């Protein structure tokens, strides 16, 4: 099966559910209604041979009514073709069906999106935070989350003040040094960095 053939089959079966289609550099993207995503995804897996879910990601269109966007990257190993599915979700109570039952690899992808963006995946078997700790009240990848961070009342778990930016331990600075020097987690606040008088580049 070729990509144009797969696209045609999708358009024939889900014509009323496709909100938009884009073609760019040989890639096809369908924007579909969120409530129909699971059925379309199952069709792509079972009928069109997209047996691999490469990635799930999310986008924050801050300021728009349909604020969040889910992006699913599908691939067919047998046919060597790729397909992208997108869904828009509202700012208030963003929810979408899980695809974990179709592709088990979606488990951690969806947990990360939930953790970082606050999107609920209905039917997920274990929807809990994967990077931040349980009870953390924010979603760090939302655009209204300040770059300097937010204060925490859990000093035993994380820093209690805003994370420093310029020259801070979690900011990579341009440097002629090796990867160990450039690694943000390797550098402490008191360690010299490029621009300081104590910094000396390695030969």
| pLDDT tens per residue, range 158-201 | 554 554 444 444 555 566 666 666 555 444 545 554 444 444 44
The residue among 163 and 27 whose pLDDT is bigger is: 27
Q: Is the pLDDT of residue 113 over 50?
A: yes
pLDDT at 23 over 70: yes
CB-based contacts of 55, cutoff 8 Å, min separation 6: 71, 72, 73, 109
In a domain, 186, yes or no: no
Q: Is residue 181, in this structure, part of any structural domain at all?
A: no
* Percent of the chain whose pLDDT exceeds 90: 65
In a domain, 4, yes or no: no
C-alpha distance across the termini of the chain, in Å: 55
Asked if residue 178 belongs to a domain, the reply is no
Quick one: angle between helices 3-13 and 37-46, nearest 10?
A: 140
Give the pLDDT mean for 5-10: 96
Q: How far apart are CA 31 and CA 99, in angstroms?
A: 16
Domain assignment present for 78: yes
Identify how many contiguous H helices and E strands the chain contains and give both numbers. 4, 7
Residues 88-126 as b or e (16 or more Cβ within 10 Å = b): bbeeeebebbbbbebbeebbebbbbbbbbbbbebeebee
* Residue 184, in any domain of the structure: no
How far from 42 is each of 3, 74, 101, 149, CA to CA, in Å?
17, 11, 9, 39
pTM for the model stands at 0.75
Count of domains for the chain: 1
């Amino acid at each position: 099966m070729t990509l144009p053939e797969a696209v045609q089959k999708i358009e024939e079966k889900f014509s009323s559910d496709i909100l938009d289609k884009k073609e760019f550099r040989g890639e096809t993207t369908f924007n579909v209604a969120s409530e129909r995503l699971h059925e379309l995804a199952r069709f792509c897996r079972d009928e069109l041979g997209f047996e691999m879910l490469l990635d799930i990601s999310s986008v924050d269109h801050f300021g728009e009514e349909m604020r969040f966007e889910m992006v699913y990257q599908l691939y067919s190993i047998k046919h060597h073709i790729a397909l992208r599915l997108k869904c828009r979700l509202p700012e208030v109570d963003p929810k979408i069906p899980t695809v974990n039952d179709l592709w088990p690899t979606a488990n951690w992808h969806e947990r990360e999106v939930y953790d970082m963006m606050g999107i609920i995946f209905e039917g997920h078997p274990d929807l809990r935070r994967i990077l931040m700790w349980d009870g953390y009240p924010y979603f760090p990848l939302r655009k209204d989350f300040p770059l300097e961070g937010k204060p925490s009342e859990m000093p035993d778990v994380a820093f209690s003040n805003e994370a420093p930016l310029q020259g801070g331990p979690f900011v990579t600075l341009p440097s002629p040094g090796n990867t160990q020097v450039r690694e943000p987690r390797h550098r402490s606040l008191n360690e010299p960095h490029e621009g300081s008088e104590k910094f000396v580049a390695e030969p």
